[in-house]
Structure 1
Amino acid sequence: EALADYELLELLLFYSIERVDTKPLAKALLERFGTLGDVFAAEPAELREFEIDQRTLVHFKALRESGRRLAERKVKDMPVLTNWQQLIDYCHAALAHEKTEQFRILFLDRKNVLIADEVQQRGTIDHTPVYPREVVKRALALNAAALILVHNHPSGDPKPSRDDIEMTREIKAAAGALGISIHDHLVIGRKGHASFRSLGLLA
């Protein structure tokens, strides 16, 4: 039987905090931050308010990175368009709990196999400057045939903004002029995502 989130967190805390009843702490952390992912991604200063020690902070960081790498392995060396849910899981693991916006690009070859996943820009809590010329320049350098654009909304709401839509149109036009396809633009929130293709925003 699957453990509840607080039970799993309690178990993890048990192995890093000795001789303490960790159930109240696990419940308090989830009440404050919301999900296991949010707990693992919380700032050290926030966690220290709960008297979380350095050893536990390191464990949390390792767990988060392990989750990201496991998700990444599932999308490497295979056509991502036929493994779409695994791609979504990977993007969520990489971006859902970031505190500021990141704009990433997944560069694909002609068989839609992942060549590279790169952070193109980092921004503020609600804005990331993106330059279509730089996107296309990097795609040409990697000999990419197609791109999947990905960015996060730290607010948690993945609904595309007007700026997101306009920026995507500019990148699509610049890439299309050189024969590079834009398969999708994914916006990642804490509990979900939005797909430009599914929303009809790539027409």
Structure 2
Amino acid sequence: MANSSCDHTGHRDRMRKKFITNGFDGFEEHEVLEIMLYYAIARKDTNPIAHNLLDTFGSISAVLDAPIDRLTDAGLSQNAAVYLKTLPEISRIYLDDKHNNNSKVVSSENIGDTILRKFIGRDYEAVVLLLLDAKYKEVFCGVISKGSVNACEIYIRKIIELAVMYNARFAVMAHNHPSGIALPSTKDLDTTKKVVSALKLIEVSMIDHIIVADNDYVSLSESGLKEELFM
């Protein structure tokens, strides 16, 4: 038993040294998950656990996107499941911080990257508001509402308050469909019209509503709906 424990400790040390030298380059997918689990499962071989998770969910991203109850059903402790769920959240915070630049000019070419980062790791519906000044420079980009998987209320009053606070000239709204595809519902279209009308009262032009699903998105403005919704 002691030899088994020593062998396992030695294996962990070798894996850590490999990571320190090369990052995750050269790691198999199960090895990446295995080493991630070291920091949530202290005294257990995480190799078979990693294999089981990948067999159950299919990929690392699917493991990290799985709800906590699904992870515990697959054999993880709640502590380990919560730890794995922090990783996409940390990734989103890291990317937001690294690319945070309120003076950048937002265009149709880079708006997708700006918006998609806000939805990393979110398995619930959320609404993001992006505000731009008269030169299309970003002045605000953040989550303004969170909801369940199926519904999220749009707080028009909050949108107006933020637009006034940041002296915005243009606005882009985005929300995600966590369990669906990036296509607008009738409610999405109705909500867009209401927000457009409200912003016009303070002379702010809403130029797009983006719907996100997984790592894909649809721009309503570029989907043949520009005149119907935004003019």
**Shorter-chain TM-score: which interval?**
0.7 to 0.9
CA distances 1:100-125 after superposition (whole Å, capped 9, x unpaired): 32222122233333323333333332
Answer whether contact 1:106 1:147 (CA < 8 A) is retained: yes
Query: Which residues in structure 2 correspond to 1:1-203 (within 5 Å)?
Result: 3=27, 5-18=29-42, 20-53=44-77, 56-57=80-81, 59-72=83-96, 73-77=98-102, 78-81=104-107, 83-93=110-120, 97-203=121-227
Contact 1:104–1:119 (CA under 8 A) maintained in structure 2 = yes
- After superposition, the Cα gap between the structure-2 partners of 1:32 and 1:180, relative to the gap in structure 1 and judged at 3 Å, is farther
Q: What code does the residue aligned with 1:164 have? A: D
Distance 1:105 1:85, change over 3 A: closer
Larger relative contact order (Cα-Cα within 8 Å, sequence gap ≥ 6): 1
> More deviation in 14-23 or 163-172?
14-23
User: What SS class does the counterpart of residue 145 from structure 2 fall into?
Assistant: strand
Structure 2 counterpart of 1:76, one-letter code: N
Name the amino acid aligned to 1:167.
T
Q: Is the 8 A contact 1:91 1:150 kept in 2?
A: no
**Any stretches of 5+ residues in structure 2 without a counterpart?**
1-24
Q: SS at the partner of 1:156?
A: coil
Corresponding residue of 2:21: none
1:151 positional shift: 0.7
Checking the alignment, whether the CA contact within 8 Å between 1:108 and 1:144 is kept in structure 2 is yes
> Which has the larger share of helix?
2
Change (3 A) 1:162 1:34: farther
Please tell me whether the aligned partners of residues 118 and 128 of structure 2 are also in contact (alpha carbons under 8 angstroms).
no
Distance in 1, matches of 2:58 and 2:128, equals 25
Cα distance, 1:187–1:31 mapped onto 2, change above 3 Å: farther
Q: Where does structure 1 lack aligned partners over 5 or more consecutive residues?
A: none
Kindly tell me: are residues 118 and 3 of structure 1, through their superposed partners in 2, closer, same or farther at Cα, counting changes over 3 Å?
same
For residues 58 and 91 of structure 2, the distance between their equivalents in structure 1, rounded to whole angstroms, comes to 18
2:18 paired residue number? none
Q: Distance in 2 between matches of 1:54 and 1:131?
A: 34
Largest Rg, 1 or 2 = 2
Normalised to the residue count of structure 2, the TM-score between the two structures is 0.71
Opposite residue 91 of structure 1, the aligned amino acid is K
SS of 2:87's partner is: helix
TM-score by length of 1: 0.79
